[in-house]
A and B are shown apart, each in its own frame.
Chain A
């Protein structure tokens, strides 16, 4: 397993190099790192910055310079804030990972539960209701759902019951002056996590239902039934374990996309994560944040893919990791 993991990581390196060059080239081609200086009153500013950043060199040369600095931990300086990029992305990533952790955890458990129920009771009233709800969930855009949840779960109860404060908060991850994992944190976290979870459950539940139905239609399940194995045991011991493998793959791949994909949720709830960092950087044309940001997201995709493969092998002994 370890050898396989190391080999996969080694294979990932050339992919990362190619991806990073394409990203570097694409961002350089679409953004002007010197835009802020174009109207400078200092006639030498443009020239100095061009030299400092090596912008007078070819794109491959610029890339090599940047990559050399990147691997040594020098991720550059944001043109927007003047701050170092590494801690900026690190802090945003930490926040997004918190949101992702809770969102993916709840969504996976709920989606799996729905999938098992729907598959076990295919075409029942409950199955139809859950299927319908999942389509509603898929159709609801995050920005709309977020605002509705705020209104229904925070604003309305406060107004309706004359509370001094809303039961759930929705600005940031902590109240002013508060830190750490405590009740205040969870009161802030609840709404963004629900927003995230609803979308994930909607699509994952469809997938888990299908995977469970496939498993339940398998010969080994039919054999188990013929042998008189209890229904519960068939569901959880035989079918679920086989259905889990493809489900985990989907979860891992979707989770990777969440690293950079929570723009709307973070924007609505004023959470300073990766999505919000991306938005502010792209609006400001801050190439020195955008390139490493994209690379971090690309790394996340590779890591989560690897995780999916390893988990698949752990869940299904028939899959040999070589």
Chain B
């Protein structure tokens, strides 16, 4: 049995498919006769080149010359005279196996790139790693795994999965994802939640302990992983899956119902997304709009920032896809745990307190302006709101707004249409902004409370630090007080206020938040129907009493105990 962090809840059963890192597979090091090794190397190179060439042709047809060019570079790396000469040299003179020689020479080149001064060139290590990894797989006859189609139900197990791998995943057959690396907020985890695929991260040694084709049960409700289970155990789990599916189906009856409380107050339920691909899930779960589009994910996993035109097309597709429903697009939230190498943010001692989000954007205006132009151009295709992240004082709000006005003016002067009613809002996720909410509310159209960061900053807890994770406490009375204060400030100035963190989907707390006056929630699409059910079962009067009572308690533990006892009844 293995344990790990649940990143996307649910239960999945399937055959293990292991994404091996060919660099680490066990293999013989030395040989007595180098001649067959040289032939083996030659054959593996030819095979890898052949595959890369096929990929290039396929990519050219599907995505165009730009995307295909990288595979041409990959083929060149494989056929590179320096690379080949060095591998041959290692085989002939040091009597290394073709695998070991290729591994060592690849490592040398990868390290060389990683050590370069220029962050952009450091990124090139990925290209070399990618293509030499393929060569090593050929040499060891490790099959290439096509993530886009599996024959039977599959539990995918890997060291880590890149966003591009996630994007090509066979949604129908992949019943679970297990990774050794990563945490709740990695892109893979967020995507798994959106796709409603059960997932666990931080599962140590999963790729070595679980063998390929083993039958695996991923219980991302209890946080355990079993493999080759006894028939009765598997039976139990199959029943549990049926129960979960039944619950999900029962929630579907809420799809057509309005999110109103038992005493008739209207609540709005929006979805968080990180790419246009998430729209299907948003619509399927009946969201009333997008409350948070995290644009940083369109900047990730690529070599250069997306151009204005690329961004425009993405924003336009989301706005059009939502057919006039409100869409809140958050400007680039980079830094902290979200690193984008080509943006060249220097290594910082405290990245979460450093050059993040709006701070980065206001100091790197070109990137910011490109995004704002793309956003403003897209505004005519739907109901756009623009939101600035990580605001910690008034100056940042004013500066961001004036840049936006300036660009809108430029666009209009060029004859480019811009919508006249774009709402401008800010994230409230830094305590200084929360305490200044009454002032900030006079300068924006809406607030969105980002609880993940607000809790981290308010309680001074690094949410990535496992050893103090119990101090990261959404039930902390200080957190509830501060949120209450922000909601009141927004109400006083008659501006909208919503919440887009994970906190809103914790059952007991959602009632407290309703009681504190919150009427707009944005969450993972998969959580929306459950929230709607909860809203419809809640009387505002009871919620108000509950929130008053909770604010009167003095510790997070007491609050959690009380709320848990309610949920049990």
Task: Report whether chain A binds chain B.
Answer: no
Residues of B near any A CB (own CB < 8 A): none
